[in-house]
Structure 1
Amino acid sequence: MPLFLEPVFQERIWGGAALKSFNYDIPNDSTGECWAISAHPNGPNIVKNGKYQGETLDEVWRNDQALFGENEERPFPLLTKILDANDKLSVQVHPNDDYAQKHEGEFGKTECWYILDAKEGAEIIYGVNAESQKELIHMIDHKQFDQLFNKVKVQPGEFYYVPAGTVHAIGAGILILETQQSSDTTYRIYDYERTDKNGKQRELHLEQSKDVINLDETSPNTKPKYETIQGHSYTQFVSNSFFTIERWIIDGHLDYSKPYQYCLVSVIDGHGTVRTEQQSYDVEKGTHFILTVEDENIEFNGDMTFVVSHE
């Protein structure tokens, strides 16, 4: 039986109301993040169905490892979000595993973005225009941010891989499906001197940022693999030691074979059903669930687009 999950919403200074387009009952019009598939302590999802109904995903992960084909104790590795950047996010960088475990006590944060929607002219920041560590530190210390940050215009349907150490920011007017390591460690470099509702500027982390920025990360694009499978459009955006990200665009019936012992599934458009064994479940834009070891003979039916991620 798939694990269907109740989303967790996070208010953000840059958030808006666009998550309503996923039929979510968001708490307010400053909702920046939907934590859609999460076992992180800062926002674990509650299971909506079956024998685990009412339990959090981290509880299920800890207490029934066989459901995920696991035989080692470790945190749930991935986190799926939808981000509504009504305003631009801070410019930031995330540490890798070694640095994060030493200084923060959790995973590092390699992530990736699938652009769900973007206003005309919307852009992200990806990478820096510095040739050396010395130049990087000089530009940060002298607040030469206009020259430092590399800007890239984006369009719906594009995919961007953001390894740990990459300076990045989501610009205003962009809606993103983000898959990341299960970490909540962010080092802010620049926040446009904004203040929160209490009139305070958010903390910056310039020394940590100088430590972890990787000057080699300058190109935001991967090389997707495109196939037609059973008459449907399949794309593999990225596959590495952190995660594999795939998109399916289906119209009709798909006999689905899990590519991993368990898979995270997010329906990003349309509606239909997913069937496992003898039970069928209605799904629609905004539905998120996990196919576990127990789910076999999987069928998707409908007119929908969904993104699958796994280790």
Structure 2
Amino acid sequence: MYTEPIFLLPYFQERIWGGQKLHDEFQYTIPYEKTGEAWVISAHPNGPSKISNGPLEGKTLKDAWENNGELFNKEADNTEAFPLLVKILDANDDLSVQVHPDDTYAREVEDEPYGKTECWYVLSAEPGAEIIFGHHATTREELTKMIDEGNWDQFLRRVPVSAGDFVYVPSGTIHAIGKGIVILETQQSSDITYRVYDYDRKDKDGNGRQLHLEPSKEVTSVPHETPTLSQETTVEEGLTSRRLVQEKYFTVYHWELEGSVTKRLDVDFLQVSVIEGEAEINVGNKAFSIKKGDHFILPATITGYKVEGNASFIVSHT
């Protein structure tokens, strides 16, 4: 069916903490004054990306997964949901402090197919920007007490970040993206969020946003442990590839292209986000121009491809 990349259009989400950087940095036509998220490779029902080329133009990625499984080397009897979701987030203000459940909890308690393990590549960060990553409680009893008493300064673990940093966030990790940060997030295809703390903010109607303290206490990992990542850099022709994480749910790379590289597709499908520069991708006898802000999938129906130009990418697969 497809002998070319499957290009996708972002699905935008309004957020209380959003801003205008998805327009300013990526030239997207954004629909809200506070546009917080672009779901750029998504088959999730809360924000499915639309296909912009080829025989499935106008269909969603969810449609393609369900009806054209050959594009993803999907077995005919596989009824699971599309496994991954890629977003770009503009934190014009601090995001709420939150935590996500694992698969078992998501299925047993929320009746959802996936929990949420995620990872962040920092695209830009203002001076002094920081994230919340983990907590200082040593036991579950201490965690419960700190949350119940609202002892946030002592409880939360703050980490400075800058452009190019990478953070792996397993399910059960207390976390928040801080003001002034734009990230590309690769995650399981889940929209389950338990909000722990929201700085006592009010929404546009003057109401505090809902917190989810009891499930948060249940799913948070205690004590916090920062994952040790086995990262590796390889050079192949004009491509420098740094493997950022290789874990159960996804493998994610940062690619830096200066020149050209010819590669075989050796996974079921490859998700590609252009985060800087311009290039051309050749599949068969067709050439496609790609630039910062483009997102596409290389489907199982192609065997190889050539990329030429000067550009940076975040690339992922299951």
Q: Are residues 1:142 and 2:149 paired?
A: yes
Shift, 1:103, TM fit: 1.4
Query: C-alpha separation between the residues in 2 aligned to 1:259 and 1:143?
Result: 49
Contact residue 128 and residue 218 of structure 1 kept, 8 A? no
Q: Which amino acid aligns with 1:174?
A: I
Unaligned ranges ≥5, structure 1: none
Q: Which amino acid aligns with 2:35?
A: T
Shift, 1:296, TM fit: 2.3
Q: Which amino acid aligns with 1:13?
A: I
1:57 equivalent in structure 2? 61
Q: Which amino acid aligns with 1:17?
A: Q
Q: Which amino acid aligns with 1:119?
A: E
1:212 equivalent in structure 2? 219
Shift, 1:226, TM fit: 1.4
Q: Which amino acid aligns with 2:305?
A: I
Aligned positions, number: 311
2:309 equivalent in structure 1? 302
Q: Are residues 1:110 and 2:114 paired?
A: no
**1:140-289 equivalence runs, <5 A:** 140-219=147-226, 222-289=229-296
Shift, 1:221, TM fit: 5.8
1:97 equivalent in structure 2? 103
**Deviation digits for residues 237-275 of structure 1 (CA, Å, limit 9, x no counterpart):** 111110000111001111122241201100000011111
Query: C-alpha separation between the residues in 1 aligned to 2:186 and 2:256?
Result: 18
Q: Are residues 1:48 and 2:52 paired?
A: yes
Contact residue 136 and residue 223 of structure 2 kept, 8 A? no
Bigger mean CA deviation after superposition, 292-301 or 264-273:
292-301
Sequence identity of aligned pairs in percent? Answer: 48
2:300 aligned to which of 293, 302, 308: 293
Contact residue 86 and residue 186 of structure 2 kept, 8 A? yes
Contact residue 122 and residue 164 of structure 2 kept, 8 A? yes
Q: Are residues 1:6 and 2:13 paired?
A: no
Query: C-alpha separation between the residues in 2 aligned to 1:228 and 1:82?
Result: 27
Query: C-alpha separation between the residues in 2 aligned to 1:94 and 1:281?
Result: 38
Query: C-alpha separation between the residues in 1 aligned to 2:52 and 2:255?
Result: 24
Query: C-alpha separation between the residues in 1 aligned to 2:227 and 2:194?
Result: 19
Query: C-alpha separation between the residues in 2 aligned to 1:18 and 1:257?
Result: 35
Q: Which amino acid aligns with 1:81?
A: K
Bigger mean CA deviation after superposition, 254-263 or 283-292:
254-263
1:25 equivalent in structure 2? 29
- What TM-score do you get using the length of structure 2 for normalisation? 0.96
> Where in structure 1 do 4 or more consecutive aligned residues deviate above 3 Å?
none
Find the residue that maps to 1:290 and give its secondary structure.
strand
Query: C-alpha separation between the residues in 1 aligned to 2:54 and 2:305?
Result: 17
2:92 equivalent in structure 1? 86
Shift, 1:127, TM fit: 0.5
Find the residue that maps to 2:255 and give its secondary structure.
strand
**Deviation digits for residues 17-49 of structure 1 (CA, Å, limit 9, x no counterpart):** 011111200112300000000000000011000
Query: C-alpha separation between the residues in 1 aligned to 2:151 and 2:107?
Result: 31
Contact residue 265 and residue 304 of structure 2 kept, 8 A? no
Q: Which amino acid aligns with 1:75?
A: A
Contact residue 126 and residue 218 of structure 1 kept, 8 A? no
Shift, 1:220, TM fit: 5.6
Query: C-alpha separation between the residues in 2 aligned to 1:271 and 1:216?
Result: 44
Shift, 1:294, TM fit: 1.2
Query: C-alpha separation between the residues in 2 aligned to 1:94 and 1:240?
Result: 17
Shift, 1:177, TM fit: 0.2
Query: C-alpha separation between the residues in 1 aligned to 2:266 and 2:163?
Result: 26
Shift, 1:230, TM fit: 1.2
- What TM-score do you get using the length of structure 1 for normalisation? 0.98
Query: C-alpha separation between the residues in 1 aligned to 2:228 and 2:29?
Result: 34
Contact residue 137 and residue 223 of structure 2 kept, 8 A? no
Query: C-alpha separation between the residues in 2 aligned to 1:232 and 1:99?
Result: 40
